[in-house]
Amino acid sequence: MDAISVIRAKRDGGRLSDGQIDWIIDAYTRGEVDPEQMSALAMAIFLNGMDRAEIARWTAAMIASGERMDFSSLPRPTADKHSTGGVGDKITLPLAPLVAACGAAVPQLSGRGLGHTGGTLDKLESIPGWRALLSNDEMMDVLREVGSVICAAGDGLAPADKKLYALRDVTGTVESIPLIASSIMSKKIAEGTGSLVLDVKVGSGAFMKDIDAARELATTMVGLGTDHGVRTVALLTDMSTPLGRTAGNALEVRESVEVLAGGGPADVVELTLALAREMLDAAGLPDADPAKALADGSAMDHWRRMIAAQGGDPDAELPVARERQVVPAAADGVLTRLDAYAVGVAAWRLGAGRARKEDPVQAGAGIEIHAKPGERVTAGQPLLTLHTDTPEKFDYALQALDGAVDYAPADTEFSASPIVLERIA
């Protein structure tokens, strides 16, 4: 076979054969297909799409490009969760130890933030000593001892996806549903979990801006998981407003610990419990009570053990940014909108995120949110607090927040969107 024939087939609206897909993924992984050629194919897929059989074969070929993990020796059933990314989305931090406290094993392979969406590993690395990079043996040891682990995926897991993801990021083909679905599911299936819950975000702060696109992505991924023998369910969840009261690395860790201590913002608690119940049901533990595990301190105990097992100090002081600036409310009334994307971009500009994968992040940078939609405010009261080590970035962050907030008269009836919009199984 040759790359040009494969490109032409998809460029002209045709479907790729199993042989073409297997060959192009393998050849690209080994360096026999040039990045320029794979870029052309990715754009052809972006424009012309793939049917379910093509997506399934593409996913299988990416899985076959590397190793597969095996958790069958663990004494617990395994369950994992994946979020498509959002602003203030710290759910993985309390969720993994919570589900472990209820009897499942959680092998959570996570990533870093890019652009306006935060990364789980960046957040946890604000804890002194904590390590994201574990060998497979270390990962298994933590799972046996604690029940949950949050770490980076090894280089041997779906290496074809790693190469293709980097290429898509610089060629304008990230938003292709076949390529998103196969990227996420190739890593999750190769990871070896027995069940998977997908948190597919919808709204301004998500990659999927409208619910129809999110539903299509979720349905595609649930189908891929099912086809590969992984019990998979998806929740469509709202990302028009930031989750919780913080966006930023150490800020979100503090908020996560509040949730594990039995407090924290209501929306974070609600979504954490909803996802925990889905994970436990998928793992065959439908009678476990995650709300009880939050209340009795067992989830917090698992958090402390998990952090310590990965070299972190759960009692250490978290980093604090050197500079702060308060953004006051501009009017009296009810807050009716706080745009998630604008808050995410502002946090990124303050130093909480990165424009390129190799860029550093500031552990203490980010945004505190003092009022959310549905709450009454008075002009001049603190609405947001910006945190950064580099105060020259305040103006740049404030530009992102221009027009991000709407107000209505104080007697306005306001109904917030539910956190969980739909369930797809």
Would you please indicate which residues are annotated as catalytic (active-site) residues? 82, 161, 168, 183, 187
- The CA distances from residue 308 to 78, 230, 249, 297, 299, in Å, are 21, 30, 19, 17, 14
- The CA distances from residue 282 to 24, 77, 193, 289, in Å, are 34, 9, 11, 14
386 within 8 A of 367, measured Cβ to Cβ: yes
User: How many whole angstroms separate alpha carbon 386 and alpha carbon 388?
Assistant: 7
386 within 8 A of 325, measured Cβ to Cβ: yes
The three-class DSSP label of residue 99 is helix
Phi-psi label, residue 201: left if phi above 0, alpha if psi -120 to 50, beta otherwise:
beta
User: How many whole angstroms separate alpha carbon 346 and alpha carbon 246?
Assistant: 12
Q: Which residue, 368, 349, 352, is CA-closest to 360?
A: 352
The three-class DSSP label of residue 120 is helix
Q: Which residue, 86, 51, 48, is CA-closest to 353?
A: 86
Q: 108 forms bridges with which residues in the sheet?
A: 150
User: How many whole angstroms separate alpha carbon 367 and alpha carbon 336?
Assistant: 19
Q: Which residue, 305, 392, 398, 309, is CA-closest to 347?
A: 398
Q: Which residues contact 241 (CB under 8 A, 6 or more apart)?
A: 203, 205, 337, 338, 339, 340, 372, 373, 416, 417
CA 143 to chain centre: 21
336 within 8 A of 405, measured Cβ to Cβ: no
Residue that is written with structure tokens 């917030």 in the block: 416
